[in-house]
Amino acid sequence: MSFAGLATMKGLAVRIFGAFVALLWVSVGQLYCGNVWGADWPRYRGPDNNGVSAEVNWKVKWPETGPPIDWRFDVGTGYSSVVVSEGRLYTLGNQDNVDTVYCLDAVSGEKLWTHSYECATDANEFEGGPTSTPTVDQGLVFTLSRVGDLFCFDGKTGGIKWHVNVPDAASIRMPGWGFSSSPWVDDGRVIVNIGDAGVALSVDDGVIQWSSADKDAGYSSFVPLVQDGETRLVFGSARSYVCVDSRTGTERWRQRWLTTFGCNATNPIIVDGSVFLSSGYNRGSCLLGFDEGKPVVLWKTKAFQTQLASSVICNGLLCGANGAVSEGAKLACLRLSDGEVLWNAANERLGGLMAAGKYLITISDDGWLKVVIPDQTGPTVISQFKVFDEQCWTVPVLCNGRIYCRGASGSLVCVNVRSRN
């Protein structure tokens, strides 16, 4: 072979090797900058509806001063959490009796678009402002106000595709603290917890597909449950936890669950086909099994009462905020097999929590963000720092190496916990 031929072969080999390295670099980049951080967080409680993130490559040990804060933004009063989809963050807040839907760049905090509308607050609503969290589905953003205004936005531009005041359209009353469920999007329908057992509207134009009785709604969001080959939705009404066929609204079963003020606010938790329920106001918790499709109470206890924040499963244990929020609910752990409360952490006041791997990410009701490992004997705090100084009953969100925290007075904070920056 000639020198020219050798040179050509050598050049080809270099190019092939270079292409391989480039491909490897892209793959590693995607691993660390994309999916390794975890999926997007497109709805309340995340893609799996359980408050658990799949992210593993994030910093759990922080300096005493805390991890870097990438940005802060004032979104106004409220308790809405955040959702993140395709690099954009969505949430809601209220200022001067005006609700605003915010779309921010999830990395920089830059405001991309907003939409505002009048929505009066009420002294009965604590700090006031919206409590529902947006839902993102196929590029559309769905939001629900306290008074039942349901919007469908183009997620990129903020253009309104349609808007319906659902209680007016369905002739349904408003409960005492307004509507707070996050919209559920399923097979061309957007479903909201309005009325005794929900209302479904067409994703395309907001036309009502099915409705329920004119009774007080509960305050929980929807959790899917597969039974008898059918995807159903379980959620809290004012006086029961209800299961309906998401396609038709047909009620499949109902577990009577009475609380003071008709306040069933926490999401059910599905565990191996069983359903865990919990409410505050001296109600307690129970685990439901099923006999020929009907719910059967396997155990119940008043020793574990979650008023607002939904619990999570972490390290095989159920962890949640036990007690009244007005008295400082505490981080507690319950064994699902028999309902025994294994511990109540007297020093861990809790506003909201989520899980990622073996860790809990908690935020106290006064703004302390923490990483905690729970086990049978108690919680171990790995890291903590004060992220803001205001009331917080909103669940933190870990997404793509960042933790988003929101206070009731309007502080939205992006905390950088990426292991590679």
Indicate the DSSP class of residue 125: G
User: Quick one: pLDDT at residue 282?
Assistant: 85
In a domain, 137, yes or no: yes
Q: Does some domain include residue 218?
A: yes
| Structure letter (DSSP) for residue 241 | E
Q: What tens digit of pLDDT does each residue of 245-281 get? A: 999 999 999 999 888 878 888 999 999 999 999 998 8
Dihedral Cα 72, 76, 81, 84, nearest 10 deg: -50
**Which residues sit opposite 343 in a β-bridge?**
333
Cα–Cα distance for residue pair 274/31, rounded to 1 Å: 35
- Give residue 38's pLDDT: 62
Cα–Cα distance, 90 to 141 (Å, whole number): 8
Q: What percent of the chain has pLDDT over 90?
A: 77
Is residue 302 scored above 90 in pLDDT? yes
15 located within any domain: no
pTM of the model as a whole: 0.90
- Per the structure, the complete domain to which residue 362 belongs is given by 45-416
Given a contact cutoff of 8 angstroms between Cβ atoms, the answer to whether 181 and 131 are in contact is no
Among candidate residues 43, 33, 32, 37, the one with its CA nearest the CA of residue 85: 43
How do residues 308-363 score in pLDDT, each as one tens digit?
A: 899 999 999 999 999 988 888 999 999 999 999 999 999 899 999 999 999 999 99
CATH number assigned to the domain comprising residue 186: 2.130.10.10
7 contacts: CB under 8 Å, gap ≥ 6: none
Per-residue confidence (pLDDT) for residue 254, from 0 to 100: 95
Domain contains 2: no
Give me the count of residues in the chain: 421
pLDDT the model gives residue 127: 72
Mean of per-residue pLDDT scores for the chain: 89
Write down the pLDDT at residue 387. Answer: 97
Q: What is the pLDDT of residues 359-407, one digit of tens each?
A: 999 999 999 999 999 999 999 999 999 999 999 999 999 999 999 999 9
Helix (H, G, I), strand (E, B) or coil at 327: helix
Q: Identify the burial level of 417 via C-beta atoms within 10 angstroms of its C-beta, where 0-12 means exposed, 13-18 middle and 19 or more buried.
A: buried
> Per the domain annotation, does 29 fall within a domain?
no
Task: Note the pLDDT of residue 328.
Answer: 87
Query: Among residues 185, 180, 71, 99, which one has the least CA distance to residue 132?
Result: 180
Residue 75 covered by a domain: yes
Q: Extract the tokens encoding 228.
A: 């008898």
What pLDDT, on a 0 to 100 scale, did the predictor assign at position 29?
38
Lowest-confidence segment of 103-107, 190-194, 345-349 by average pLDDT:
345-349
What letter would DSSP give residue 325?
G
pLDDT at 2 over 70: no
The Cα 287–Cα 319 span in angstroms is 15
Residues 203 and 214 sit within 8 Å (Cβ to Cβ): no
Model pLDDT, residue 420 = 61
| Residue corresponding to tokens 């036990």 | 322
- Please check whether residue 24 lies inside any domain of the structure: no
The two three-digit tokens of residue 292, written as one number: 């020929």
The span from the CA of 257 to the CA of 263, in Å, is 10
Instruction: Report the alpha-carbon distance of residue 269 to residue 191 in Å, rounded.
Output: 19
**6 assigned to some structural domain:** no
Rounded Cα gap, residues 343 and 141, in angstroms = 40
Split into its structural domains, the chain has a count of 1
As a whole number of Å, the end-to-end CA separation of the chain is 49
pLDDT of 392 reads 93
For residue 76, give Cα distances in angstroms to 79, 142, 162, 340, 416.
Answer: 10, 19, 24, 40, 22
